Chain A
Amino acid sequence: MGCALMTTAGGVCFRPLTEVAAHYRRGELSPTELTRLFLDRIDRLDRSLHAFITVAADRALEDAAKADRRLARGDPGLLIGIPIAVKDSIATAGMRTTGNSRVLEDWVPHRDAAVIERLRSAGAVIIGKTNLNEFGWSIPTPDDLCPPPRNPWNPEYAAVGSSSGSAVAVSAGMTTAALGTDGGGSVRLPAGQMGLVGFKATHGLVSRVGVLHAGSIGDVGPLARTVADAAALLQVLAAYDRDDPDARPRAHADYLGSLDGGVRGMRVGIPRSYLDAVSVETEVSAAFDLALDELARLGVTVTAVEIPALVYARAANFVVLNAEHYAAHEAVLRLQWARYGRSARLYLAQGAFLTAADYLRAREVGRLARLAIDEVLQHVDVLAMPTSPVVTAEAARRPDVHRRGIGASFTSPFNLTGHPALSVPCGMSAVGLPVGLQLVGRHYDEATLLRLAHAYEQATAWHTMCPPERVAAR
């Protein structure tokens, strides 16, 4: 079968998962054809973008061929044959998993992480492992195991992390979707900066078993082209896992099926005092205000809310991350100090100087913040704020900003409190990097959150834009 879609406007490498699945069903495209297209693009583009640490070409083509056969038999699964890239902190059996660290440079897990088992069972094709800040906790440097990814929207700028490679891979048309992990915004921040949807579900809804150092607040989440794609992935990923201590058995909603339920009359709260307290760049504020206008046009009531605990939740999340990262690495740091990158080993070492009391107080702040947010979410359906206060990774990585976690001011509180949150594209900056809108929902009410995000997305055109490289690479 020839790939007729390859040269059509939009290019199949930039089409959403749901659309690709429809092409498969109509026989217009096969998983093997699409996988080959992506492998070719990776070969041409990734020498400069650095999205991938490992490209699993042979295994991906084997799995794509299996998917071809499943589709030929009429198997209806939505993810069959969909190429997905996976952050290299998520274990993949038979495929090395490095955390972008020389400490694990040659580690090949024997088992898949729980989320990989679910993706493979659903027929997805794991196309490769993506780049990240070393162990998700450093400022990337050129001497990392794999050098830092560049932002395909404007390669003059770095891609913000830590799931930067996953976002670059999707954004640059090197895969249909990807998985990242998010302990302070690491799925939502790169999604926002690269024009994608990044989604962190309620803590415990998606298993973290087999994820390097997920700690007590990290989550696995999809990076996708549309809200519907994120919903489709959540449909497969959300499952009770008795091996995940934070998982709770519960019935899962039809996330994809409930997207079109309407949003008129929905109430959105803006934590205005917190936004004012964070130094938000002018372009980000402007894009956010326009997004609120659009929500109002959709019939949504936008109102200011007060959540004083948010500023402390940000600091508390930073304390928890520091303490847990140090605890996870303490023994290996002593034995293999020189194998860690220069930035990662310092970021990891600082957690040694926190006390047990610091950690417990941070957890208590998290509990109080959750209560405060839950109280507000009795009066509004969803909270809204910018995904990031700044446009570029360079601004977020200024040492005085990065070591206080200020770039994650709007994302990290909801890791500590466990609320579901996503980033959806809402604007474009003067330097050509996208800007994200973050929406936050009630615990386990992913359906409402996705419905609002979908309505906003469909009312705007931001999600239809592609990096300028696409024209040259098509």
Chain B
Amino acid sequence: MGTRFSSRDTFHDAVRALQLPLTDEEVNAVWTMVTDLHDQADSLLRFLQETPGADPLRGSAEWGARS
């Protein structure tokens, strides 16, 4: 579990790059939300890796099980 950013500072940098005028308080709130969101997104990758017939590299189950 955890965000993909190495630190809160790098997250601040990423927010600044978006050119969105978040206050420090808002950045902290979004940090918490993004941490959860990344957690969920990462669970999808694990699910696809563990699901027979779902190849995350190809992104299509029609290609069948990996040989």
Q: Interface residues, chain A, CB within 8 Å of chain B? A: 309, 312, 315-316, 318-319, 322, 333-334, 337-338, 345-347, 349-350, 352-354, 358, 360-362, 364-365, 367-368, 371, 399, 403-404
Contact = CB atoms under 8 A, between A and B. Distances in A.
Contacts of A346: 26, 29-30, 33
Nearest to B22: A349
Contacts, number: 81
B48 A315 contact: no
B60 A352 contact: no
A244 to B, nearest CB: 25
Nearest to B61: A368
A337 B20 contact: yes
A399 B28 CA distance: 14
Contacts of A322: 37
A358 B41 contact: yes
Name the interface size band of chain B: 20 to 34
29 contacts: A312-B47, A318-B37, A319-B40, A334-B19, A337-B21, A345-B26, A347-B33, A349-B18, A349-B20, A350-B30, A350-B33, A350-B37, A352-B18, A353-B4, A358-B41, A360-B59, A361-B44, A361-B59, A362-B44, A364-B60, A365-B44, A365-B47, A365-B48, A367-B61, A368-B48, A368-B51, A368-B61, A403-B36, A404-B36
Contacts of A333: 20
A399 B54 CA distance: 33
Contacts of B19: 334
Nearest to B40: A315
Contacts of B4: 353
Contacts of A362: 41, 44
Contacts of A365: 44, 47-48
Contacts of B41: 315, 319, 354, 358, 361-362
B20 A358 contact: no
B34 A350 contact: yes
Interface in B12-62: 14-15, 18-22, 26, 29-30, 32-34, 36-38, 40-41, 43-45, 47-48, 51, 54, 56, 59-61
B54 A364 contact: yes
A353 B13 CA distance: 12
Contacts of A364: 48, 54, 56, 59-61
Contacts of B48: 361, 364-365, 368
B20 A319 contact: no
A345 B34 CA distance: 13
Contacts of B61: 364, 367-368, 371
A367 B44 CA distance: 12
B10 to A, nearest CB: 12
Given A360-B59, A368-B61, A319 B18 contact: no
Nearest to A351: B37
Closest 8 CB pairs of A and B: A315-B40, A358-B41, A312-B47, A350-B33, A353-B34, A361-B44, A403-B33, A337-B21
Contacts of B37: 318-319, 322, 350, 353-354, 403
Nearest to B29: A346
A318 B54 contact: no
B63 to A, nearest CB: 12
Contacts of B34: 350, 353
Contacts of B51: 309, 368
